[in-house]
Amino acid sequence: MALRDYAKYMTRVALLQVDVSDAQSPEQRTEKVLELIRQQAGLCEVVCLPELWIVGAFSSSMMKTHAVERASSFITDLGDAARDAQVWLHAGSFVERDGNQLFNTSVVFRPDGSVAANYRKIHLFGFDSGEAALLAGGTDLVTVAETPLGTIGLTTCYDLRFPELFRALVSKNVETFMVAAGWPSSRRHHWEILLQARAIENQAWVIACNATGLSGDVPLAGHSMVINPQGQIVAQAGADEIVLFADIDLAEVTQVRTTFPVLADRVLD
């Protein structure tokens, strides 16, 4: 089946809402997540992970010590897990070391284990601390054409607060936004409202996988969500570690954009 033929069918996604608390070491969590990916074989076509699930988005002290290069066994292991499960894998994000710089990097794998795309987070959170002080920001908007979810746009957590990024991705014909996150419980209401807003204003699917548990001293919200192009929540997790499933009908994007063609009235681009 050609990838574009997926538009005629439901595509099932699995969001792995991972607990990043210190009860597990990063090495133990990595082994657990690799096994969770493999367990999705035959259950879905696409698997998604949260932001910085190895160390936690607010565990700044661990970012340098657990940074890895893109050409590393960690990346190979993720690709192998995607191949074993025969799924497309949005592997959340990890701290990437590239020379003297560190990035918050996402990787998407094809079902054969090969890398389909990389995205370095553009907007770094923390103002003058945390990842904003430790990491370098990416510069490229990344889309992946022809996945089971159509043309996808990759974003990470704090990116959600910058609608111009999502608008730029729509200009590249993105049909599904993928959001890997380590969003805190204290701002959970922002998480839910902003995700729905991005779906409504861009008439696109939003698949948002958040981490849960305690990262540093910050409780994370969980509540991973899948939102359709009308802004309706079709699946939502609670605060516990869980695998959340949802069925994506890509045809809804075309239907909404055709019957209510608001994007055609854009003046600023």
CA nearest neighbour of 205 among 157, 259, 148:
148
- Name the catalytic one among 44, 45, 48, 51: 51
Rg of the Cα trace of the chain? 17
User: What is the Cα–Cα distance from 142 to 171, expressed in whole angstroms?
Assistant: 12
User: What is the Cα–Cα distance from 12 to 47, expressed in whole angstroms?
Assistant: 9
Q: Which residues pair with 214 in a beta bridge?
A: 219
* The token pair that represents 41 in the structure block: 């074989």
Annotation says 48 is catalytic: no
- Name the catalytic one among 44, 48, 157, 209: 157
Provide the terminal-to-terminal Cα distance of the chain, rounded to the nearest Å.
Answer: 35
Query: Within the chain, how many helices (H) and strands (E) appear?
Result: 6, 14
Three-state SS at 163: helix
Contact call for residues 42 and 76 (beta carbons, < 8 A): no
Annotation says 157 is catalytic: yes
- Name the catalytic one among 96, 121, 131, 192: 121
Helix axes 73-85, 26-39, angle to 10 degrees: 20
Q: CB-based contacts of 261: which residues, under 8 Å, 6+ apart?
A: none
* The token pair that represents 185 in the structure block: 């419980």
User: What is the Cα–Cα distance from 18 to 209, expressed in whole angstroms?
Assistant: 9
Q: Identify the helix (H) or strand (E) that includes residue 104.
A: strand 101-109
User: Which of the residues are catalytic?
Assistant: 51, 121, 157
